[in-house]
Amino acid sequence: MGTQGKLSARERLQILLDPESLVETGVLGHHRATAFGMQRVEAPGDGVITGYGRLAGRTVCVAAEDFAVMGGSIGEMHAGKVSRILELALRLGVPFIQLNESGGARIQEGVVALDRLSEIFRQNTLASGVIPQISVVFGPAAGGAVYSPALTDFTVMTRSACMFVTGPDVIRTVTHEEVSFEDLGGGEVHNRQSGVAHFLADDDRQAIALVRELLGYLPDNNASEPPAVASGEPPRPDEALRDLIPRDHTRAYDIKQVIARVSDAGQFLEIQAHFAPNVVVGFARLRGRPVGVVANQPRVMAGTLDVDASDKAARFVRTCDAFNLPLVTLVDIPGYLPGTDQEHRGLIRHGAKLLYAYAEASVPKLTVILRKAVGGGYIAMSSRGLGADYVLALPDAEVAVLGAEGAANILLKNGQATPEDREAFLREYREELAHPYHAARRGVVDDVIDASEIRPRLIAALEGLRGKTVDRPVKKHGNIPL
Ligand code: HXC
């Protein structure tokens, strides 16, 4: 864990919030422990600054852990202050932002520390889907300090941060493994491998700038609209999209270039950019209105969905649905990733999460099939059957149960047909089924459009879908596959 570019808890809050806007709560809060010499330990604010203030003019509630006070460890008072400000955020219907750096439950306070820590987790859970919750981890988040960030909507980690449930010492004792803090739970590990973090920032300032940018796409709560900007770019046809999306279905291209050309001012805030890069998710604006974008990335694993990509996309779809962000799905997928490794890791249940998330989402859902939408991939990527409100396809798109060759292998009993029979089958398959006009005639695609028209057609469709309502059966809650 490096210390470059590290700020104090108070400095972080100063940068995060609008000047002079912090109203601090529990300023004199202090632990009441006496054992282990604790009666002599001075702990200003009990190691956490809590309060509310303004961020770009909007009210937010904040908690910033102070590692200089007993390693930011979470005791009775520390946890109580965090729970209380989180509860206030929920009552006010405003975002909660926590700036974390902590050694976990305060060891000297025993089970009381664990008990109060659990209350934070309960508050995080109650607030989930009601107000946006964002965590930034600047240094260690050890043991119990990891789970509040994990229960929030977004976690930013700096390169000095490190998150782990059990640290290198415990691991050495139990498994005899030698591992550094960084290799165990550094920012790179949690952004690339585990998927625990959503953003990797070079330093504290960049992390805080990311929070401000992120909040620009999110509403105050689930009953309000995400903030639209008046300066949204007008719709305009864009010829360059024709060249960006190759007609040759075997050629790779960068879906992020397509997203940039479709979005206002080319701006796209990518989320989990380093994790499961075969699917791309993030926020953009269409004519000033924030939307969530989900897209296959043909450059990585041909844009297939594997277990991690399914998890990533499903969580993002649910985040957008919770906070009233319409979903724009750009489809170019040959299917789920085949292989024993994927099947044994639970591709069925992970893949099901994405079906569940799209089917459950009640926000406007727009889909554009760019090239391939095949089999399970067709279904999973916001298909009509899962509830897409408007589906567009490009003229060369292949929309089918299987690719032509795969269909021939199965229906012609692999190898038994003559080359002529096979050729005839492939021709008929391509003419009858594997194009968007079949899908359009069957009503699962609403229109076939030129690539240059993607942006104006999405903007027009979105405009008309404002105020969409969805009837749902009454239930306590669903049971998403995990
Ligand atoms: C009380 C703690 C503490 C803790 C750190 N400190 N963690 N005090 N309770 N959990 C204190 C240290 O004693 C030290 O006090 C000061 O904070 C700074 O810590 P250092 O170790 O000197 O700093 P550093 O070398 O940077 O290492 C940071 C650290 C390490 C990696 C976080 O302190 C550490 O490993 N702490 C324990 C982590 C842990 O196992 N936590 C789990 C707790 S159980 P002085 O007075 O010397 O300055 C838990 C429940 C799990 O959280 C529940 C799971 C759901």
d(CA 173, CA 13): 38
Q: What is the pLDDT of residue 128?
A: 98
For position 215, what pLDDT does the model report?
Answer: 98
Closest residue by Cα to atom 51, ligand 1, is: 144
Output the pLDDT for position 4: 67
Atom of ligand 1 nearest to the CA of 114: 50
| Strand bridging mode 390-393 / 365-374 | parallel
Q: Decide whether any atom of ligand 1 lies within 6 Å of the 139 Cβ.
A: no
Q: Report how far ligand 1's centroid is from the alpha carbon of 286 (Å).
A: 46
pLDDT at 466: 86
pLDDT of residue 2: 59
Task: For residue 174, report the distance from its CA to the centre of ligand 1, in Å.
Answer: 19
**Distance in Å, CA 5 to ligand 1 centroid:** 22
**Residue 142: CB within 6 Å of ligand 1?**
yes
What is the CATH class of 9-215?
alpha beta
Of 76, 141, 63, nearest to 102 by C-alpha is: 141
Tens-digit pLDDT profile for residues 148-207: 999 999 999 999 999 999 999 999 999 999 999 999 999 999 999 999 999 999 999 999
Kindly report, residue by residue over 260-277, the tens digit of the pLDDT. 999 999 999 999 999 999
Which pLDDT value is given to residue 235? 85
Q: Is 148 in the pocket of ligand 1 (CB under 6 A)?
A: no
The CATH code of the domain at 240-397+435-464 is 3.90.226.10
Domain ranges, ordered by start, for the chain: 9-215, 240-397+435-464
Atom of ligand 1 nearest to the CA of 70: 17
pLDDT tens across 435-481, in order? 999 999 999 999 999 999 999 999 999 999 988 989 889 999 999 99
Ligand 1 centroid–CA 179 distance in Å is 18
pLDDT digits (tens, 9 = 90+) for 66-125: 999 999 999 999 999 999 999 999 999 999 999 999 999 999 999 999 999 999 999 999
Q: Quick check: CB of 106 below 6 Å from ligand 1? A: yes
pLDDT tens track for 354-377: 999 999 999 999 999 999 999 999
Q: How far apart are CA 115 and CA 107, in angstroms?
A: 12
Do residues 374 and 400 touch, judged by C-beta distance below 8 A? Answer: yes
- The answer to whether the CB of 70 is under 6 A from ligand 1 is yes
| Other beta carbons less than 10 A from residue 195's beta carbon | 16
The three-class DSSP label of residue 287 is coil
Pocket test for ligand 1, best of 107, 162, 181 (most atoms within 8 A of CB): 107
Please determine whether the domains at 9-215 and 240-397+435-464 fall in the same fold group of CATH.
yes
Whether 107 lines ligand 1, by a CB cut-off of 6 Å, is yes
Distance CA 266, CA 479 (A): 37
Minimum CA distance residue for ligand 1 atom 24? 71
| Ligand 1 site, residue 364, Cβ cutoff 6 A | no
Convert 249-261 to b/e letters by CB count within 10 Å (16 or more is b): eeeebebbebbeb
| 170 CA distance to ligand 1 middle (Å) | 13
Q: Tell me, using a 6 A CB cutoff, whether residue 144 lines ligand 1.
A: yes
